[in-house]
Structure 1
């Protein structure tokens, strides 16, 4: 399948409105797009990447000559089936399209206008518009990072980033890699790295796993999740990887790059226990403390959100995956972190619901298949909530930071500067801290530091949560020239 079918179709991809525009070609978006297309809708599938699969099903570039890319993935057969269905469908796959906002059409127009910049990650800088009667948001999630001394050294990467390097680039972040943070992703990352030849001296989990036992019903209803954990656990045992729970990396050592980490025991609030620090030699650290739903596009349109058990914000959705804004659906991690299988299930429900709305056939959503999908979704969502509650960051993690620790990497704002803004200038929220220190004003727009800044601004004892979702007119950074090129009276087609 071509990486960018829109290149073959030239500008007719931006002409007549589609029945459905799907933003994000990961598990949820891909499933939603093919489901709606098979039910008779015209569908545009937009994604910033050149390939479908999202973050979960990353695949190496053909030039790398990977013989068995499926060996790096779990449940590859499901993805292979989705790709087959996509190839057989009439879905227009607009690869390399960086969506920066979604808006209603002109006054009285019920259509949506999706604004994007062509080129992977928007580097093409050619603004285009895609019109659609309905929209499905499947924008996924980003990693939550909590800073600590030395986390900006070369060799420190996100846990998901390490997995992405392996899946798409066939490279390891180092030869001796400590995996740390919190959440089930750590086990998958560690087993993948070890299988690929890395030495993994330890997996360092700040929480424990006893929290899962508090909701035995959710565990019993999702035996496949237990099976996945057993597979990863067996892999770690086979490679001699030590699992250290109730522990955290509290410092990274090195000059030009990572040379070692200090691992300390932490209490239930994630406060380091004095005298428990142990140094582990390594040349890389893969660290992450869970995932944060990417809701910027939705909140810019006024979609309601909800607090999740691990303190993040996800979209509030009805039983058919529709947001609080009519005609706008969401699936996958935008509604709460739950994994690939849940994302595919939600994508199928959303695609069917959008088709029912456009075609005027509400009976589609009452079919036996949709009822079963909803039951499956509810079972997996219950487990996802259990998982989130088991790995919620404790407020004591701020004690990992000394005043010299960089919190905002883009603007080089330290923990000391943020504490000064709170203690001396009366800042009580992330927005005020940003205005006083520039924390969160850099290229990532707070995606790396937002949770940490919000927690420091809230003061001692506050949980580690991101700031409440803000309604931003631009969901992602976009060149000023793109905005200047927009013609407000132009209804469709590429903007020139």
Structure 2
């Protein structure tokens, strides 16, 4: 099948369907297409780039979107490769399921089910058929609740950065940044450069954990360079950095007006008497990222417990999952950042091309060996980073009984503790069945980590891996009950095509 060259002229069958148009997805789609495969690239956003290269909508006519990013030339290079190779870009496609079809003769085809439009709003169900799938679905923020975290003005750290990148707006003028993980430094420096006043960046962990692996640090100079760049930006804007501290409460009526900051011990338990209050009009808070693997777990792909407590996919050296025909790259295999996502996407694209075309020599080249070395080196650093910022068990001491843990269903910490201590729940699924925690619109993305930790504290059992869900994203009954049609030129996506690549 020839590679289509238009965003609005996809076909019903492809060699490869790539789900997610961030760093990993773009690299994988380009690599596979350059090696002769027909490729469809699906993403729910209106533009390619994922969360890392999120940018303002074309209607805003921003002249220099690269001002809010680094490595912009790498991104534009990926976009040029995708455009030149003829990848079919299906923006505004919310993939809610992937199913397998077998003709009985050993021929397997995968069917990607999606709803089109902004937020799936036009409710037109479509399908895309492919011989193989590359999951590049990225991640979402990990949230840990505390009293007051549902107040207006309290946003995720990544959410604050997304507001700035996509809408050129700040969550407030005096923005407190807190949580754990390297994302905090990037968020604080971006907000400060955009004009926000940052009273402090409060990191619940420390940075000494990095020093235990000097060899890994030395092998990843780019990561050290990023840290120096963000640190210099904070110094330039006179932003104070505090470690082993956390926001343990937010205060306000109609909006957050202040936060309580407490010192933490090594297990993240608040140190009595260390509390002090700081005024602010917004709080950007986040505790790292969690792999977005709902599509993979629904296909029964094997998972593993990462060092930071999140659940990631088990992948081989060429990014294959445990399910034949399904590859994955980027954050789905563990949180690692944009650099490792690009490398893994490239590896996966080559691996898919080698298998589907019968050209095994493609994976035995010097290029692949170099990519694998880079991947392994960066993954080693990612593990160090994850261990350094993994939440300590004592964070649950922040919670009062009336603190909402599941915001969608208004399930409090007391409700969950009752399910564990009085009703015998010992895992997140049991808590969910007894309290409805995780049954709301976000399907546990906001509260899942907290519910799992609270459930595990009731006993010695290990929390189960991510649940299998029939739907990876919310979908209306109208879309679910309507007949699917191929994503073809007669029924194009309502989202506009990705703008031409002209900015460097």
Q: Give unpaired runs (5+ residues) of structure 1.
A: none
Q: Which residue of 1 aligns with 2:328?
A: 330
Q: Which residue of 1 aligns with 2:448?
A: 450
* Counterpart pick for 2:96 among 100, 110, 115: 100
1:32 correspondence with 2:28: yes
CA 1:462–1:50 in structure 2 vs 1: closer, same or farther (change >3 Å)? Answer: farther
1:305 correspondence with 2:308: no
- Between 1:416-425 and 1:174-183, the stretch displaced more is 416-425
Contact 1:395–1:461, Cα closer than 8 Å, also in 2 = no
Tell me how far apart the structure 2 counterparts of residues 325 and 107 of structure 1 sit (CA, whole Å).
18
Alignment partner of 2:187: what SS?
Answer: helix
1:46 correspondence with 2:46: no
Tell me how far apart the structure 1 counterparts of residues 78 and 69 of structure 2 sit (CA, whole Å).
15
Tell me how far apart the structure 2 counterparts of residues 106 and 492 of structure 1 sit (CA, whole Å).
21
Deviations 1:229-249, CA, capped at 9 Å, x for gaps: 000000000100000000000
Tell me how far apart the structure 2 counterparts of residues 315 and 322 of structure 1 sit (CA, whole Å).
10
1:243-322 paired onto structure 2 within 5 Å: 243-322=241-320
Tell me how far apart the structure 2 counterparts of residues 387 and 84 of structure 1 sit (CA, whole Å).
32
Deviation, structure 1 residue 134: 0.8
Alignment partner of 1:323: what SS?
Answer: coil
1:359-374 paired onto structure 2 within 5 Å: 359-374=357-372
1:104-115 paired onto structure 2 within 5 Å: 104-108=100-104, 109-115=107-113
Q: Which residue of 2 aligns with 1:473?
A: 470
Contact 1:293–1:312, Cα closer than 8 Å, also in 2 = yes
Contact 1:30–1:82, Cα closer than 8 Å, also in 2 = yes
Contact 1:450–1:466, Cα closer than 8 Å, also in 2 = no
Tell me how far apart the structure 2 counterparts of residues 433 and 26 of structure 1 sit (CA, whole Å).
34
Tell me how far apart the structure 1 counterparts of residues 118 and 21 of structure 2 sit (CA, whole Å).
13
Deviations 1:345-384, CA, capped at 9 Å, x for gaps: 0000000111111111010111111110110000000000
Tell me how far apart the structure 2 counterparts of residues 380 and 370 of structure 1 sit (CA, whole Å).
15
CA 1:270–1:294 in structure 2 vs 1: closer, same or farther (change >3 Å)? Answer: same
Tell me how far apart the structure 2 counterparts of residues 76 and 492 of structure 1 sit (CA, whole Å).
31
- What's the TM-score once normalised by structure 2's chain length? 0.93
Q: State how many pairs are aligned.
A: 485
Tell me how far apart the structure 1 counterparts of residues 68 and 128 of structure 2 sit (CA, whole Å).
34
- Between 1:136-145 and 1:448-457, the stretch displaced more is 448-457
CA 1:192–1:331 in structure 2 vs 1: closer, same or farther (change >3 Å)? Answer: same
Across the aligned residues of Structure 1 and Structure 2, the Cα RMSD in angstroms comes to 1.9
1:71 correspondence with 2:71: no
Deviation, structure 1 residue 341: 0.7
- Between 1:61-70 and 1:354-363, the stretch displaced more is 61-70
Tell me how far apart the structure 2 counterparts of residues 190 and 462 of structure 1 sit (CA, whole Å).
38
Deviation, structure 1 residue 7: 6.6
Deviations 1:65-110, CA, capped at 9 Å, x for gaps: 3221101001111001111112212100001000011111244241
Contact 2:6–2:86, Cα closer than 8 Å, also in 1 = no
- What's the TM-score once normalised by structure 1's chain length? 0.95
Task: After the TM superposition, list the runs of 4 or more consecutive aligned residues in structure 1 that deviate by more than 4 angstroms.
Answer: 460-463, 490-495
Deviation, structure 1 residue 492: 8.9
Q: Which residue of 2 aligns with 1:8?
A: 8
Contact 2:406–2:447, Cα closer than 8 Å, also in 1 = yes
- Between 1:102-111 and 1:352-361, the stretch displaced more is 102-111
1:386 correspondence with 2:405: no
Q: Give unpaired runs (5+ residues) of structure 2.
A: 492-504
Deviation, structure 1 residue 302: 1.1
Contact 1:451–1:466, Cα closer than 8 Å, also in 2 = no
Greater relative contact order (CA < 8 Å, ≥ 6 in sequence): 2
Deviations 1:250-271, CA, capped at 9 Å, x for gaps: 0001000010101000000000
Alignment partner of 2:8: what SS?
Answer: helix
Q: Which residue of 1 aligns with 2:495?
A: none
CA 1:461–1:275 in structure 2 vs 1: closer, same or farther (change >3 Å)? Answer: farther
Deviation, structure 1 residue 166: 0.4
Deviation, structure 1 residue 482: 2.3
